[in-house]
Structure 1
């Protein structure tokens, strides 16, 4: 089927959350139904159907300062290599152009080779790590932190106001915001593993200690998306049993509009930035 003559690109609604979740689950991604509702409620998700079945998606999630995140680019296996993902990303870019938005995304190595010719330029890199079973650690148990404290630190590190996103995360059952020794992080449920991030700290020792304390208090597998330039943090994670699953290349299309005051140790996730 030629991509130009294929089925129409449509805008999805919150009623499509379960169908979107089926696509990300097929890809073994960690999103939950609540994650999909964030994109569908606060952003725009473009989709393609084959009959009644949703077979491809791409999302554009706006943030403050005329920035937006492109993510959830998914195509079910039976419909790949038909140009569907390209059409959906083009729809996101066109929507962003109309609103004057700078677009960001976190790409796999294969994706980076696709987005580069579209004008995206590399910025930072991420490493997704997984911990299946925690090694017992001793030390200070983390205290509960406020959402305001997390949002303030996130704003300093990203240059963006993401209060709505972090509030949605924090309000979910099982979510917690924890802090110790100048480090702060959010921990939330995922489909297959709990996710740590964003995580901010005054220094590497505090970041590693907070991750260790979180891991010691969790029974489920854990994921974290660490900033690759925080090399001592990455080394400390792998030394304590975390394994690197995959890299991501952060990329930007358009001029930089957000100024960061500090570098995070881990981000909210490649789908959220």
Structure 2
């Protein structure tokens, strides 16, 4: 496979979940098999094979009111820097154009340099933080089970479009927790190597930080959170509590916004889902 002219792009199905998981594991990403099945069952996933081996992927996950998310853009190490990822993203954009979808993604710094020339516009910035060894905070906050309808409503206000089916599916997964203290609420779910905390909504920064502390107290596994960078006091509070910043993400949009967001989350569901 010397270049991209002879690359055959194929559409993948649920039987490819384990092969996709092998790619994201090679990249040290946190997705598990359930995440891959979400894309394969509810989205459009393109791939490239070398012989019987899946060596590259990209996914388009439609949401509501003409919006979709691009993610899982992966190329195994020995086939990188051959233009394969760009070809796969182009396939996703073609599929979105046919369906008249505005496309979003969360890009690493390297990805930002690729997606900008393709016509993507930067929007909000994110910061991924990790808590490797959760430890009890100084004070305990009593948590109850959150209201899923409220989470969906707040997520709709923050995103500008509805992701109810996705959030309901997250909550239905084994090990997932939707927690609230009345002033803040968050979803916690399993990932391959760490628990993902988000989306997280709160009335104020202090309530958001108190909820994160309470979640950390109850969790034994490492935690990751993708915090909204403009929530500066929240990010500062996390680092003061022992969270380490791993990497930035830049949210980008291809196409015109379809609706206006009216609320800002403190943390998002993850770069693969938005």
**Does TM-score exceed 0.5, indicating one fold?**
yes
Matches within 5 A, 1:105-254: 105-137=105-137, 138-254=139-255
Q: Distance in 1 between matches of 2:179 and 2:215?
A: 8
Say if 2:176 and 2:190, in contact at 8 Å, map to a contact too.
Answer: yes
Cα shift at 1:2: 4.3
Comparing 88-97 with 130-139, greater Cα deviation is found at 130-139
Where does the alignment leave 5 or more consecutive residues of structure 2 unmatched? Answer: none
- The secondary structure found in structure 2 opposite 1:256 is coil
**Does residue 55 in structure 1 map to residue 50 in structure 2?**
no
Cα shift at 1:7: 3.0
Q: Distance in 2 between matches of 1:80 and 1:62?
A: 27
Q: Distance in 2 between matches of 1:211 and 1:159?
A: 25
Where does the alignment leave 5 or more consecutive residues of structure 1 unmatched? Answer: none
Q: Distance in 1 between matches of 2:259 and 2:61?
A: 16
Q: Distance in 2 between matches of 1:23 and 1:48?
A: 12
Q: Which residue of 2 aligns with 1:8?
A: 8
Say if 1:17 and 1:36, in contact at 8 Å, map to a contact too.
Answer: yes
Q: Distance in 2 between matches of 1:160 and 1:194?
A: 25
Cα shift at 1:134: 2.1
In the comparison of the two structures, how many residue pairs are matched?
273
- Runs of 4+ aligned residues of structure 1 deviating over 2 Å after TM superposition are 1-7
Give TM-score scaled by structure 1 length.
0.98
Say if 1:135 and 1:240, in contact at 8 Å, map to a contact too.
Answer: no
Say if 2:198 and 2:269, in contact at 8 Å, map to a contact too.
Answer: yes
Q: Distance in 1 between matches of 2:126 and 2:100?
A: 27
Q: Which residue of 2 aligns with 1:101?
A: 101
